[in-house]
Structure 1
């Protein structure tokens, strides 16, 4: 009887231990399952990955392989095209350089020509002015041409007047007679010359302006001046060189 009681107690304890272990295991599984919700294992299968990529890109084509002839043709076209562009660029640069050199040469020639003309004009004026002054004197009154030059469209004669006599002399310059070496009367305008010349020996200066259009065929000029209204003075100058 006592033995049966011990066996029964042992079975009861064993049953309780198994039940407790089962409940503990189930409870642990439940906690782990709840904790791992939303976590998935990475796909590390190469076969599956290739299959997935193939399904994801069904329209993707493979790389086109060119033949050797096609490659050589492309390279040849590129080289020839590049060489043609470089040749055209070099030709264009050469033409531009030639144009610049031509322009520079033309400018230098024009500058040299202008300088040569200026020098010739200066030499001509200097040579003409070697003949000055040209003087004429009557009754103590002196008139002289001391210089000739070109200014604008006119030839200018610088004229000095001086009265060393005893009486005042009056002039009316509309009576000034200017002629070329062919005897043709020329229009002349006086500037700065006094209408009344006092008898004190003072020198007065002015200009006589003659349009160059009237001097095309002239080499020398003559000029005559008299007093007004008596017209006693005979002031005449000749061989006045024309400068251009």
Structure 2
């Protein structure tokens, strides 16, 4: 009975092992079938491959070859466009150069019309190479305007303080005056400087002549006296 029990147990174990193996094989087959769903066998025919490649190439985009005439036309148009731009720039430069030349020529040929000398003028005084000249006298805006020119032909520059400018009338009375445009320092270059001496008209009701007196500052080595300047209205 002991031997029979062992045989039976052995058979049961074999049966269980066979059953487990069968179940495992079935499960493996099902899993493999599921994994291979949708997978097809590749087409090994070369003609089909080439046809597919050609079809894909045509779908991705066709290469269009331009005609030689069109290429030449495009190149010619670009060259002409650049030439027109260059020509336009050249014309602008030429116009600017012509205008500059005309302006320079105008400046060269422009005649400076000198003011016609007024009767009794200029009235001039000179001291130590320095000249003070009254060029003209005219009334404007309630003032008498004396146009003055100063020039230094001496060896040294000369300084002036125009608050020391004395202006007197033909009766010896001192008149108030202001200056404009006259240099505070007159260089020894011989260059002429112009300016204006202004005298209020209200002070000149019965005045026919005025005089100017100016000395350098602070040395007072020279004295410029311009007398009997006609100021008749």
TM-score by length of 1: 0.47
More helix by share: 1
Structure showing greater Rg: 1
